[in-house]
Structure formats: structure tokens, C-alpha cells
Structure 1
Amino acid sequence: MVHLPNDDDQCGWYHALPKVPARPSLVGEQTADYLILGAGFAGLAMARRVATHKPNSRIKLIDAQRVGQGASGRNSGFVIDLPHKFALEHPDPEHKQKLLALNRSAIAQLDQLVNQYSIDCQWSAKGKYQGAVGARGEAYLDHFEHLMKELGEPYYHVDNKELSEVLGTPYYRRAIYTPGSYLVQPAALVRGLSESLPDNVSVLENSPIRHLTKENGQWVLYGHEGVIKSPVLLLGTSIFTREFGYLKNRLLPVMTFASWTRPLTDDEMRKYGGELDWGLTPADHAATTMRMTADRRIMVRNSYKHTPKYGRSISHAMKAKIRNDHRQAFLLRYPALEDVPFTHTWGGVYAISRNFTNFFGQLDEGLYASACDNGVGVAWGTISGTLLADHAVGATSNQLDDIKYVTGMPSLNPPEPFLGIGVKSRIQLAKWQSRSEL
């Protein structure tokens, strides 16, 4: 690999977890009957499902970092049932209904696992708000309402007064509430899922893979201190899939950023005056996402960057500016909490495609991948990983037919330097257009 994962060490979700000993790393020469690369939501679902199908097989799940440190543990903690905003505009009603059913199947699967294994991850069926600050946001809300009517899904109008009582701020004009989403502490869920894997799954951490090749019918992965071989390889590597030469020039690496406070004190909670455990996404997708966690932390997420070298694309100065932007958004909403500091600011990289298409399927003999979640990773990673495992072992189902129906090939990107210039310009334009909603 040319560019390895290089996430910062300031993810608040991960820092809030109790420390646990690291699992073994890839050392020496190892083998497996099935090998899964990437221990995020997709890879964890792959490992669990393959182990269910093949209880007597040796399955190994390998990650470049500690489980929970990567992108799956860095999102805003929404498990969203509705298709992505762009997918909601798809002209084929059947496409949208299949996406919705797949996402809800993932939520049901995660709900069952959280309860079965008592995973402590702030899992809650709270739904989500989509909020508008001004006229631009309200126009987006009107469009969203139209799409909900087309889809036949329930939604509820929330006016300024009712919304203020929930959020503890009158900053938003109004919102639309949809009941099907869940909220979660994502790093805790990732860790809990990894700790509850079947006994025939072994997890290797801190084991970045620099190269893979096919030799004598075996996929061979080379790490810093070891080599691992398997006849079947499943990639849950999202944007990093392109580093192995697959889906090259079809995936765009984008990083989003979040900051959060320490837990509010009792006195600060009185000043805040809102509820615990809610999530709000912006009606204008380039604006600000907000969370109040179950343990009293307020989180702000905005700012998007094109990151061709992932974490190495982000300088200290850039991160400091992003943190300042988050602070301004926080103070606009909660001026009475100006003395409450941010404790962590972090970024997380994910893959999008220009045609907003997810890849799912076989790349080569014995090689399978699910890549490009287009920013809706928890539910999509879970269901796509589950069904990719079915595909790899030769199982069939209506759901497998459905996911093949809604996925395809991400479109080709323009060559550099035009790609970088275009993506950066588009992000800057979206930020300028959305400035009233930030």
C-alpha cells in the first residue's frame, strides 16, 4: 500500500472507552480458511456471517489499527434507516424501497446483537431530527417532506418551540423528525461487536497490510512483520480498497470532522435546559450535524475535506481552524455554555463516488469487496458485510438479490490534478452556499 490509515489520536468516542489490552498482531507466517481485511462495521459483519456459515473453518479478521480506532468508530453515532439524501432522489421507487428494507434489516440485526451480548454502547431508538436554521434550510426541508411522501414513510413536523425544548436552543426554525433511526456510541459498538464474535474468528490488530498478491491459488497479504495466506479474501476496507489496485480512480476520500465537550455538570445542564440523547442532521447536507449524548456531551460536526493521503492530508493548522469553526457553531447555539471546553476534535475518512453508487461483489477469483458507503456507514456496512459473506460462501437469498439490485460500479473520476481541483472547489462552494445554515 502507498497510503496507510493515518487517523488522529483524538477521537472522543474512542477515548471515552475503557482501556483494554491489544490483541495480537500479524507476526510470522499465518494461514486462514477465510480472511477478512478491515474490522469496521462491514468487516465485523463479514466475519460473523462467515463463521456462522462455516463453524469449523479458521477465520481471521485483520485491522491496521486497534478495533474502533478507524472510520467506523469516528462517525456521529447515527444508525440511519432511510436512504441517503441523494439516494432518496433515485427515480426508481423499487430501488429506494429495497435500500430502506436493507438498512432496516441491518438495524434489526444490530439491535439483536446489542441485546444478546449486552453491549454497552448507548444504543437507543431515538429517531433523528433534520433541522433548518433559515430560509435555505426550510426549502431543503420542504423537499425532504416531498420525498418522504413519495416513499410513504412517517415523519413529523417539529416547530421552533418544541424543538427548542429538546435541543436546549432556539437556533433552529423548525425540523422534521423521522422515527426509524437509532443513536449509538459507535466506537463502543464496534468494540462490543468484535468481542462477541464466534470462537472460530481470530482478530489481529495493529497489522497494516502493505501489499497483497495471488500466489498458487492463495491470497497473500504482507504486513510489517508477517505474512498471512488464505484462498478466500473479503475486503471491508472502504476507501483503502483502491490502495490494493481495485476500484482505482472510482472512489473519493472525504474526511469529516467533529468536536465535543466534556460531560456537562449539573449546573451546566440547567443552563442548557434541553434533553439528553438526541441527534440532528442538517436539512442542507453541507451544514452542521449536532448530537447530545446520553452521557451529557454536546458534539458538533461540520467541515469536509478532500484527503487523497487520508490523515496525512490534514495539517495542524487546518485542524485548528476546523476546531475554531466548530466552536463558533457551538456558541451560536449555546452562548450560555461558553465556559464549557471542547476536549477532543477528530476526523474520519470515508468513500464516496461521483454517481453515489455502492460497490458490492466479486473482484477476482476468491476476492470479494463491499466498498463506498457514501457516508451512511453503520447500517450499510453491517448489511453489505453480512450479505457479502453469503455471496462468498455461495448462499442465496432475496436480500442478496436486493443488494445486487441497488449496487453497481462507481463511476470513473477525472485524472489528477483536475480531480483534486474539482473536489476542493465543490466543497468550498457548498460551504459558501450553506454558510447561513452552519
Structure 2
Amino acid sequence: MIALPNDDNSCGWYAALAPAAPVKKLKGSQTADYAIIGAGFAGLAAARRLAELKPDARIILIDAQRVAEGASGRNSGFVIDLPHKFSLEHPDAAHKQKLLSLNRAAISQLQGLVERFNIDCQWSAVGKYQGAVGERGEAHLQHFEHLMKDLGEPYRWVEKEELKGVLGTDYYSRAIFTPGSYLMQPAALVRGMGENLPENVELLEQSPIRHLEKQDGKWVLKGDEGTIQTPKLLLGTSIFTKEFGYLKNRLLPVMTFASWTRPLSDLEMKHYTGQLNWGLTPADHAGTTLRMTADRRILIRNTYKHVPKYGANISDDIRRGIHDEHRKAFLARYPEFESVPFTHTWGGVYAISRNFTNFFGELENGVYASACDNGVGAAWGTISGTLLADLAVGADSQSLRDIQYVTGMPSLNPPEPFLGMGVKFRIALAKWQSRSEL
């Protein structure tokens, strides 16, 4: 039995969109030259690239939800060029440079699509702040500075007063600014890409695949009201890859949560002393992500949960508790906005691995996957999906060789109940250690 996404219905990014176009679902018996499960960043990129490489092929892109309802539309709206902090500590300099090159190729690709199709998604090249609250955070920033120097990438320190002028709060002591990151409205970006797919890509939504099997050398995808038969299957399913029998006991499902306000009024903006359209990630990775969107919303993201049953693990009581935690973090930064309510609190599931390794490649004959983004999905999903299409058709490029160089096999997890106990302990420990940075 394949466990399906079980996301909440309270994602602010998705709620801010106009109503979606009428849905097209899987019905009857279909055949395709290529089928892709999962219409997030990876699946959308794979479909577009396949269509470019094989313009006469029939390509079906299918998702259990509407485009942008899943994880790709639920992140905090960063497209980050720098490798993740753990990857920055990798001893192989070539490994880090290849990751950087891949991420920047993804950003270039996304920007090209935004410009080509005029996707209204608040796309902006404004860089990113990494902020510290106190001594613990500043120690992390010192380490980050060392990593930036080692990588040879530009950065600059932002001291308290200048930072206050950006953020509109004196809660943070210092930050490091890096110029290469972009901000966007993730649900708007993902939907815009889904609405502008090549003509030989057919998008089917709200069409969960319940069963996968091989018959006469071809893969058969079975849904509620139809089937798809294809010789080649690409999985852009991230954590759900294990539901199809692959990478079992190698991926950890983690959910992180965000809340945001309604847009600040003109009167409230007179009391806000900062700028619009910036993003800050925590120096201490278990701290709080903070954003002021281009349309005047303040977003808070922290709180992590191990969710082996995905959204089914999160009850209304848990979500209310998370809302209250976010509210506390919000008021610590902006006490003057006590009367400004949160309109949405939501979660999104992503995959991490114990050895912090992303999977990319062929799982078995005719089945390809990019799985386990380790929390940096927008850029990684885009470039890995693109290059997965290259791999599936036998194309070659330096970028394909680069992604094969930096990926591998996620390590095996210990069995339950030890896995769940260990993950919950690590999350609780990180939260306690980072309490001064929340």
C-alpha cells in the first residue's frame, strides 16, 4: 500500500494564488514514452528537459495533488546558490565547486523560465542574510566566514544597526550577507511552470498512483481510474520514493513549519522601520528563518518534526502548538505588531539522509530517480530533474558528470523503534541547544 501525501490545507503561499484551472485527471488506459511521477521542482524540470530532447515523444507528468500543493510550494521561498552548510564542510574542494556550479545553473534556468513566461512569483535577486541572535549564533557565523573564505565566495558582515535597518528589528546581533541567492513565491513559481509546459507534456493532477509493477518489459502505473504504461519511469518523488519500494530504510521524512501574517496595512507600515523583500536564515541551523515578502507579509519558520506517516502525524493540537511557538518568535522580534494576526500555519515534508547524501541515478532498468534534497529543494530539484532527463535518454554533459560526482547512496537507517527515538532525540536536542537563537 502506497502512503500518499497528506498535507494540510493551510499553506499560505498556495492560498494567496488565484483559483487553479480545472483539473485533468488520469482516466482510462494510457501509454507514454516517458512517465514522471511528482510535479514539483524535480518533476517539472525533468518533463521540460525530456520534451526538449525528445520533441516527438509522449510524456506524462502525474501528481497525487494539484501542482504547488506539495512540498515545492511550501518552502520559505529561497533559491540558494551556495551549498548547504554541511556540504560546505566537505573536504573535497571539487565537490563544493561542482555543487555551486549546479545550483547556479538551476537559478539561471528558473530565471529564464520566469522571464520567458512572465511568471508572477516575486522573483528577485536580493541575496540572503544569515543572522545570529547571540554568542552561539555568532560562533556559527565565524565558522561560516571561514567556509566562505575557503570557497572563495563573496560575503560581507552586517552589523547590528545596519541589520536593524533591513529587518526592522534589533533582535539580531550580526549577520553575514551573501549576494547569490534569490527569493520567490514558491507556489506561484511552481504553478507558473506547470501552466507553461511544452506541448508534448501532458500534466495529470489529483491522480495518485496506487501501485507500480512491471509487465512485458514495461512499467505499469495504476491509479484510481486509469493506468499508464511506459518503458521509462522518472521519479521526482523525494521522500515518497520509498513508497514505490526504492531507497527503503535510507530516507528520513522530516516536516518543517511556517506561519505568516496578513499583509501589513499602510498604517502598520509607517511603524515598520525595515525594508521589504528580504530573507534571513539562521546561523544556527535549528534557529528561525525570517522573511518579509514583497507584499508586506512577515513569515516565521522553525519547528521540526519526524513524520513517518507524513501529514497524518500532525494533529490540529500539534499545529496549534506550533502556531503558538511561531507567535512567540514573531512577537520577540516585532512586539509592535501584536495586533497583526497569523493567517496561515503550514508544514511541508522533505527527505534527509543520515550521511547527508543525495541520491541521483537509475534505480533499476528503466527507473530513474532524484531523491533526498536534504532541505535545499528549489535549486537542487530543478537541476537534478533536468539532468535526470539527460540520464534517461543517454545524453552526456559536464553537468551530468558533475551531479554524478557529488551524489551517492544515502546510508541505511537503524530499524524502528530505534530510528524514531533517535530522530526525535536529535531534533529535541538541537532545539534545546539552539533555544537562544529561536
- TM bucket normalised to smaller: over 0.9
Instruction: Output the CA distance in 2 between the equivalents of 1:434 and 1:253.
Output: 21
Instruction: Output the CA distance in 2 between the equivalents of 1:409 and 1:36.
Output: 21
Q: Flag as ranges the 4+ runs of structure 1 deviating above 3 A.
A: none
Equivalent runs, 1:418-437 vs 2, <5 Å: 418-437=418-437
Instruction: Output the CA distance in 2 between the equivalents of 1:425 and 1:20.
Output: 40
1:347 is aligned to 347
1:236 is aligned to 236
1:101 aligns with 2:101: yes
CA deviation map 1:299-350 (0-9, x unaligned): 0000000000000011111111000000000000000000000000000000
2:170 is aligned to 170
Instruction: Output the CA distance in 2 between the equivalents of 1:232 and 1:2.
Output: 20
Equivalent runs, 1:83-122 vs 2, <5 Å: 83-122=83-122
2:39 is aligned to 39
Query: 1:218 Cα deviation (Å)?
Result: 1.1
1:300 is aligned to 300
Equivalent runs, 1:12-51 vs 2, <5 Å: 12-51=12-51
2:201 is aligned to 201
Q: Is the 8 A contact 1:35 1:230 kept in 2?
A: yes
The residue type paired with residue 338 of structure 2 is: E
Instruction: Output the CA distance in 2 between the equivalents of 1:43 and 1:285.
Output: 28
Q: Is the 8 A contact 1:220 1:228 kept in 2?
A: yes
Identity of aligned residues (%): 74
Q: Is the 8 A contact 1:163 1:175 kept in 2?
A: yes
Which structure 2 segments of 5+ residues have no match? none
1:396 aligns with 2:396: yes
1:387 is aligned to 387
Query: 1:191 Cα deviation (Å)?
Result: 0.5
Tell me the TM-score normalized by structure 1.
Answer: 0.99
Query: 1:20 Cα deviation (Å)?
Result: 2.1
Which structure 1 segments of 5+ residues have no match? none
Q: Is the 8 A contact 1:82 1:103 kept in 2?
A: yes
Query: 1:271 Cα deviation (Å)?
Result: 1.3
Q: Is the 8 A contact 1:22 1:205 kept in 2?
A: no
RMSD of Structure 2 on Structure 1 (CA):
0.6
1:317 aligns with 2:330: no
Tell me the TM-score normalized by structure 2.
Answer: 0.99
Query: 1:225 Cα deviation (Å)?
Result: 1.5
Instruction: Output the CA distance in 2 between the equivalents of 1:363 and 1:300.
Output: 37
CA deviation map 1:349-392 (0-9, x unaligned): 00000000000000111110000000000000000000000000
Query: 1:2 Cα deviation (Å)?
Result: 3.3
CA deviation map 1:160-185 (0-9, x unaligned): 00000000000000000000000000
The residue type paired with residue 417 of structure 2 is: P
Greater displacement, 406-415 / 209-218: 209-218
Instruction: Output the CA distance in 2 between the equivalents of 1:191 and 1:22.
Output: 13
Instruction: Output the CA distance in 1 between the equivalents of 2:188 and 2:217.
Output: 37
1:78 aligns with 2:70: no
The residue type paired with residue 15 of structure 2 is: H
Query: 1:224 Cα deviation (Å)?
Result: 1.4
Instruction: Output the CA distance in 1 between the equivalents of 2:430 and 2:129.
Output: 21
**What SS does the aligned partner of 1:115 have?**
helix
Instruction: Output the CA distance in 1 between the equivalents of 2:196 and 2:273.
Output: 38
Instruction: Output the CA distance in 1 between the equivalents of 2:402 and 2:302.
Output: 33
The residue type paired with residue 52 of structure 1 is: E
**What SS does the aligned partner of 1:284 have?**
coil
